[in-house]
Structures are given as structure tokens and as C-alpha cells.
Chains A and B, each alone.
Chain A
Amino acid sequence: SAVISQKPSRDICQRGTSLTIQCQVDSQVTMMFWYRQQPGQSLTLIATANQGSEATYESGFVIDKFPISRPNLTFSTLTVSNMSPEDSSIYLCSARNAYEQYFGPGTRLTVT
């Protein structure tokens, strides 16, 4: 199994600012993803973090708002840019090999 850590675990940010969330996996993984989970709801995929190239975004998510980096096989960052209260959510990093997919502990973001 893969152990995933995220930083920060939570933050309270002001409208219009940006926050970068870091994700570290303890072993090399094939795929890394970023998800969002609103309170009481299921997980929504934001994007697939591709090593050494631009991330692949899902419908409704764009690079200017959620820039993503993945410089190597074990690390990725997600930036939430120009934040608004609607961005308040839990952001989860996920890592997958062929038959297993694991999630980090999440970053709880509150935008005021």
C-alpha cells in the first residue's frame, strides 16, 4: 500500500488569495489525482496530475484556477487560485497503481 501525506491539513484563507497544497507519496506510483469533496457529498475529480507535463482537467475545472504540478513520481502540488467562498471544500490527493488507489488525509480549506 501507499502512504500519502498532504500539507497543510487545513487552512483558512481570504477571498482573492491563493493556496498551494502539497502531496507526497511514500513510493513511486503510476498515477496521481486531485479530488474535491464538499461536506456531505461524494468525491469529484479535479484533474489527473501527469509527470513532467500539463495536468488533464475534468469538465468544469481549468488550469488557471487549479494549476497542478507533478515534477516526479512521488510528489504533486495543487494550487487553488483567486479563491472565493465557493472553493471552501476538502481537497484530496490520490495515488494509484494497477489494482490499488489510495487517498491522502485531505486539506480542509475555508475561504472567508
Chain B
Amino acid sequence: GQNIDQPTEMTATEGAIVQINCTYQTSGFNGLFWYQQHAGEAPTFLSYNVLDGLEEKGRFSSFLSRSKGYSYLLLKELQMKDSASYLCAAGFSNDYKLSFGAGTTVTVRA
């Protein structure tokens, strides 16, 4: 694999903010995806970052620093339905294949 690293678990309270970090090897990197996956369901596309900076989509934002090999997914105004696994996936070279991290399980508590 391409050593996609993300924390295993995170817990936060409803209404709070959580930031999920993801690091990857920079050699050949060409873009980074974030997915949400609820138990027993398929991954749902959240964001794709190819350039440095922050991309905001409602309560979810994704950040990328290509030089540092670093991305984060920011979840704001957490809701109970946000409890899920969040997968970081990076693309390398020009073949469109993705390497996935192990996923971060986020638990939102009342």
C-alpha cells in the first residue's frame, strides 16, 4: 500500500466539531478523496482535493497540503447521524487507482 494513515477512532458530542487527519506518501500523489461509510452500507463520496487549500461543502470541509502529505476532514455542528466510518483515499501516478486508509470511526454522543 501507500501508507495512508488516519486515527482509528474519535468521539465527540452533538453540535461539536471534529477534525480527522490523514497522512500519505507524497511521491506520485495526484489527489485525495474522503468517504463516509455507515455500518452495512457502501462508502458515500464526500470530497475530492487535488489542489492545496480548504474545500467547504456545508457542514463538511476538506483540506489538503500536497507538500506535507496531509489532509483533514472537518465535521462541524455534529449530528447523531454523522456517526460513521470516514475513509481517506489517495490516488497515485496516473492510473486512477485509490489506496484507502483503514478508516476512522466517529462516534457522536448526545
Contact = CB atoms under 8 A, between A and B. Distances in A.
Interface residues of A, number: 20
A66 interface: no
Given A41-B102, A42-B87, A42-B100, A103 B95 contact: no
Contact of A30 (B35, B42, B96): B96
A101 interface: yes
Size range of the chain B interface in the assembly: 20 to 34
B29 to A, nearest CB: 15
A42 B101 contact: yes
Contacts of A101: 33, 45, 48, 98
B42 A103 contact: yes
Contact of B96 (A31, A103, A104): A31
Contacts of A103: 35, 42-45
A75 interface: no
B48 A1 contact: no
Interface string A9-43: 00000000000000000000011010000000111
Given A48-B95, A103-B35, 13 more contacts: A1-B45, A33-B97, A42-B101, A42-B102, A45-B97, A92-B42, A96-B96, A100-B48, A102-B45, A103-B45, A105-B42, A106-B41, A106-B42
Interface of B: 31, 33, 35, 41-45, 48, 50, 87, 89, 95-103
Interface of A: 1, 30-31, 33, 41-45, 48, 92, 96, 99-106
18 contacts: A1-B45, A41-B102, A42-B101, A42-B102, A42-B103, A45-B99, A48-B95, A48-B96, A99-B50, A100-B48, A101-B33, A101-B48, A103-B35, A103-B42, A104-B42, A105-B41, A106-B41, A106-B42
